[in-house]
Chains A and B, each alone.
Chain A
């Protein structure tokens, strides 16, 4: 069974749940078998990378965390009164009356069941009053494990549909925000849309009642006043579905791995990993990675994989553009040997070898007078 194999890979620790950001990042590098296996097995990549001596370069400043919390609290204050004003005024949505339910009222262990009940009741109800659901807890099955997800707010019955509301503290200045941040927010919101659609469907309702348009709430200009924007996440949803379907097929990847292989950190009673680093690195090395410089913003393992790519002399190190220009030649030495003519092209490499030879000659000619 694939699940048994995945459990063995992880060792005797509970699988690490994925949050929406982690699930969204799965779609960032779909070609990476290492990431697919580690995530499917629920392995704590952060601790793994740390133990290997390559801690991920992600840190969050206290200032940024505080700012995010303050802004979210402000938007949600007084039963989301501010949010209601935004939806009415900015998006021009007719919302007659608004109820507010805090799904966290019941205590953490019951939140998911409570959310389910609230959503079910809303979907059955025929009156058209608006409702905000604060602190909902959704779930999504990832390769056999359930991950729990916490969208900021779910708003119901804006044009007869459920909408995910995502509150972010990056600013929208004169109608424009940083594209990378908007893209990340959209990917994350798509995870919530998918989870809510699955829930609505399980409850026997039409999943189409969950809108593919999410409401992004950000501070406007340099003030703390929030502004709302509708963001269409259909494209992100499609990528996410494809990637999740692929992860279900992770069994094929796992069955090819040597038996007895494990990425267990062998933590002692205090939770300190005792697994010899070289042994762990070798174990991880049996599953091929597909490093790209973009991994540095999405994957905890990025620096380990970069180091490995460097040792292998892989052209992945230099980015996808370079790799594309090299017609997929994987090794730095191999590509240089083709360019310098010290190595003949293999089958199918004739074209790229000719181009590299030409580039080599042109470079040499152009640099001559400078020397």
Chain B
């Protein structure tokens, strides 16, 4: 939160409509994402009640557990979910490209990757819980389940874990993605309601955002987007339907439960697709492709792991695994923030506000300025910029610019609103700069001290060498029947 976003919220209140929070799109939106809207039985940790899922807005598939307290029905639901999700996921394994990495063997990477769209953050968390409750199951032994169930568990866990990485688009929560691009005239807490947030962003004709958001809070008009259901619906509609099924588990009783949950899911189904459409309407930011490439890499790697029949993800990370995961997440956070600022002047404005970036007009340039003599003579153009931004950068600071991403410069002097820079990197070997390489007088430019330089993470010991301060080497996990038989009541 900054004065800029606070101001955007105020404007949204006055205009009665959400205000842009970004000028470009910062997440990848697939052509045919798989929309997944899970519902949970109230009072239970991870008892699925129903889900609407599919890649075609016109034909959703509705999965229902007519008695969510019945263990067998839950696993039948998981198997049915696997039937929809696994072919979608595995379909991306077919087409690959050879990717090269500096200092490493070339490897195969899938040309595209699956994308799961859920309505909100709780649905993403619930996806993780569903994964946790199914990934340790086994197809043989005392409590056998359909062979697809443990595989589904691994994939759901994978998606939920990737969602914790800033900038990843494998599992996208609609409310989070929308809030990244639009600022509503309500509080952040209220933004977690998908219908209300969309009301501000895209009110129906004739309604203000405020009015649309108010209507969205009525569970009769707009059922909650899940996974929690409306208590009124539970008590008046769902409970009698489930009781009916318990008394007589007939096809008609199942149909009654199906129709009940359908009314709760259909409005959200339309909203999630609308959210995808709105996001797709924004031009993609310059770094979106690069981040999606990482996602494709992570997907390909995990695909290999599943294909090799690797063990399910651990319940808890060991010390070394946890430290390295945290380092990767921190690294992803920094990259995501910096890349968004470079891609989007509205995000860069946040840094101009705090003095870590400035924009202005070039008032003087010495493109052929050099340093050193003889063979070590190097082109170091000087540029002076006039700005009215409150710059808080000291001489000697390294700066970069979104307009010329390969270049690096150094702040030489600041004199009131006049700042002189020396371009230190990315000028090539020539004696004179190539045309356009140095900003010309009159050009509007922006420089910032933010950089997305790769920082090697701290070196961590091999898990086998975990020091006693961190619990010693973790015990190796051996799958046993106890995990597979874990109750799911």
Contacts and interface: CB of A to CB of B under 8 A. Distances in A.
B173 to A, nearest CB: 17
Given A57-B217, A169-B43, A369-B345, A222 B9 contact: no
Contact of A223 (B185, B315, B389, B489): B489
Interface residues of B, number: 54
A313 B7 CA distance: 14
Given A219-B45, A225-B487, A367 B23 contact: yes
Interface string B77-117: 00000000000000000000000000000000000000000
A60 B229 CA distance: 10
Contact of A359 (B41, B234, B353): B353
Interface residues of A, number: 54
A366 B11 contact: no
A293 B353 contact: no
Contact of A222 (B4, B43, B486): B486
A322 interface: yes
Contact of B20 (A62, A325, A362, A370): A370
Interface string B455-489: 00000000000000000000000000000001111
A358 B390 contact: yes
B43 A65 contact: yes
B165 to A, nearest CB: 19
Query: Most chain-B CB neighbours within 10 Å: which of A63, A223, A319, A369?
Result: A63
Given A59-B230, A62-B239, A315 B10 contact: yes
A336 B487 CA distance: 57
Interface stretch (A37-45, A170-178, A277-285): A170-178
Contacts, number: 152
A61 B189 contact: no
Contacts of A79: none
B3 interface: yes
A321 B186 CA distance: 12
B62 interface: no
Nearest to A59: B231
Interface string A356-367: 101110110111
B487 A224 contact: yes
B215 to A, nearest CB: 14
Query: Most chain-A CB neighbours within 10 Å: which of B6, B186, B316?
Result: B6
Contacts of A30: none
A365 B229 contact: no
A239 interface: no
A82 interface: no
Interface string B219-260: 000000000011110110001000000000000000000000
Nearest to A64: B43
A67 interface: yes
Interface in A249-296: 293-294, 296
A139 interface: no
B488 A222 contact: yes
A317 interface: yes
B487 A222 contact: yes
Query: Most chain-B CB neighbours within 10 Å: which of A225, A310, A359?
Result: A359
A325 B353 contact: no
Given A173-B45, A175-B316, A222-B486, A359 B189 contact: no
B271 interface: no
A67 B44 contact: yes
B188 A319 contact: yes
B232 A59 contact: yes
A221 B133 CA distance: 8
B149 interface: no
B42 A335 contact: no
B298 interface: no
Interface string A27-61: 00000000000000000000000000000010111
B190 A322 contact: no
A321 B346 contact: no
A60 B231 contact: yes
A290 to B, nearest CB: 14
A126 interface: no
A207 interface: no
B45 A63 contact: no
Nearest to B352: A362
Nearest to B11: A336
Given A318-B9, A322-B6, A359-B3, A61 B42 contact: yes
B1 interface: yes
Given A63-B41, A174-B315, A293-B189, A369 B7 contact: no
A355 interface: yes
Contact of B235 (A62, A174, A175): A62
Interface of B: 1-11, 13-14, 20, 23, 41-46, 129, 132-133, 185-190, 210, 217, 229-232, 234-235, 239, 315-316, 345-346, 348-349, 352-353, 359, 389-390, 486-489
13 contacts: A62-B239, A65-B43, A171-B46, A221-B487, A325-B2, A326-B6, A332-B13, A363-B346, A363-B349, A366-B345, A366-B346, A367-B20, A369-B345
Given A63-B42, A363-B8, 12 more contacts: A59-B232, A61-B234, A169-B43, A170-B45, A175-B316, A222-B46, A222-B488, A310-B210, A317-B186, A318-B187, A325-B3, A367-B346
